[in-house]
Structure 1
Amino acid sequence: MDVIDSWTGALACQLQTALRLSNEAFADRLGVHRRTVGDWHARPDITPRAEIQSALDTVYERSPAPVRSRFARLTQPATDTAAQTLRVAIAVVRRGAEVLLVQRRDDGALRWQFPAGIVKPGGSAEAVAISETHGETGVHCAVQEALGERVHPVSGALCGYYLAEYLAGEATNRDTAENASVTWVPITSLTRFIPADRIYRPVLDALGVSA
């Protein structure tokens, strides 16, 4: 495991992204005020105080291997500005009147979301959406259309959304370190699992969900 000599706001935010935590959850994990995490996003070159450096060390050292792996990919040197932008591909997999969700372990809480994966520099977001869906859930799918991109309001990552159609496979939890459950839910009940204000509007439109 790599040793972080000195944490900066940027590195702390990348650890937050690797952990897939909201600002509030990340602040609670570290024992700091939520405003402190917001400052790191606004001022990535800031150097946290010594006690916060120690708290970041502890959270990093206690993180499971998949989290450390994601963090390593996020912090690897990039050759240009475009490569430094964290890109995430999100698969909205539809099977008839159902949509596929995974239940993430999020700082002790369980939160439903669509399957997603990090896109490496030069990689294909569509391919990642397909491969991550299969890797997490065992479901094979095919992308039908790109629904658009947005900068995620919590993580700051550039998220691309892809509407996909189910092809084959049983929905099973194949990533028990990160996910508690995998399931198909009725599209009409989607907002009972994920609040409508957290769902990218074109996703709701593509699924025919009014909110």
Structure 2
Amino acid sequence: MDVITWTGELACHLQTAHRWNREEFAERLGVHSQTVAGWHSKPAIVPRGEIQAALDTVYERALPPVRLRFAHLARPPAEAAAQALRVAIAIVLRGAEVLLVQRRDGGDLHWQFPAGVVKPGADPAAVAVKETRAETGVHCSVRALLGSRLHPATGVQASYHLCDHLMGEPANLDPAENAEAAFVPVADLTRFIPADRIYRPVLDALGASA
């Protein structure tokens, strides 16, 4: 979403989307931390022009995961209820290996399963297959839906699709969002993604496949 005029509330959502504390956010904007505190206490306030420009810059430099979080936070409650953000996640198996991508999230790198945003009217299973191919070059087919949940880290509705590898070696085809793509041994998965961050049905399915 594009922001025409920043308010204190939208600025606070931008801070939350980046997962910065008030001091970190103030430093990025070149303002005093008390200014940020004022936005939290008076969300309707409209920052002055030079701060509007600084907020524009921080938003424009944000990586896609940050923009997704901001869009989810900034959506009006009625619209959020009607159009909850959905993603389709592909769990692609090749023998005893599973496909992962290393996401760029701010200054951090995190291993995750390939995923894509599901637009209204789209089939989540088709999105999982399409986004996997677009991100990694790997062709796959969906075997089963493992379930869905409200993702605890991002707050989006996530559906998990168990997929079979058809062809292709992983390559990083989306360097703006990812740093790497690779098949890793299922037995080593929790070395890449902590077990408490993996949807339980995914662990169960991979355990049965290992």
Q: TM-score scaled by structure 2?
A: 0.74
Note the C-alpha offset of 1:110.
1.1
Determine the C-alpha separation between the residues in 2 that align with 1:191 and 1:202: 15
Matched, 1:183 2:182: yes
Answer whether contact 1:30 1:59 (CA < 8 A) is retained: no
Report deviation, 1:63: 3.5
The answer to whether the 8 A contact 1:118-1:128 is kept is yes
1:29 and 1:117, CA in 2 relative to 1: closer, same or farther beyond 3 A? Answer: farther
Counterpart contact for 2:5–2:52, Cα < 8 Å: no
- Cα deviation per residue 1:13-45 (whole Å; 9 max; x = unaligned)? 5x68xxxxxx68531698249xxxxxxxxx9xx
SS at the partner of 1:174? coil
Mapped partners of 2:22, 2:180: distance in 1: 23
Aligned to 2:143: 144
Instruction: Let me know the Cα RMSD of the aligned residues.
Output: 3.8
Q: Kindly state the Cα deviation for residue 108 of structure 1 after the two structures are TM-superposed.
A: 1.5
Partner-residue secondary structure (3-state), 2:20 = helix
Q: What TM-score does the superposition give when structure 1 sets the normalisation length?
A: 0.74
Alignment of 1:27-66 (within 5 A): 27=20, 31-32=24-25, 46-47=43-44, 50=47, 56-63=55-62
Amino acid at match of 2:165: Y
Report the structure number with the largest CA radius of gyration.
Answer: 2
Query: Which residue matches 1:6?
Result: 6
Question: What is the Cα deviation at residue 164 of structure 1?
Answer: 0.4
| C-alpha separation in 1, matches of 2:11 and 2:92 | 32
Distance, in Å, in 1 between the alignment partners of 2:11 and 2:105 is 19
Aligned partners of 2:65 and 2:18: how far apart in 1? 15
Match of 2:113 in 1: 114
Unaligned runs of 5+ in 1: 17-22, 34-42
Deviations 1:29-71 (A, max 9, x none): 98249xxxxxxxxx9xx5577498666422212236x679968
- The answer to whether residue 164 in structure 2 is matched with residue 162 in structure 1 is no
Counterpart code for 2:121: G
Deviation at 1:163, TM superposition (A): 0.5
Q: Is contact 2:145-2:159 (8 Å) kept?
A: yes
Q: Secondary structure at the match of 1:173?
A: coil
Question: Percent identity at matched positions?
Answer: 54
User: What is the DSSP-based 3-state SS (H/G/I as helix, E as strand, rest coil) of the residue aligned with 1:202?
Assistant: helix
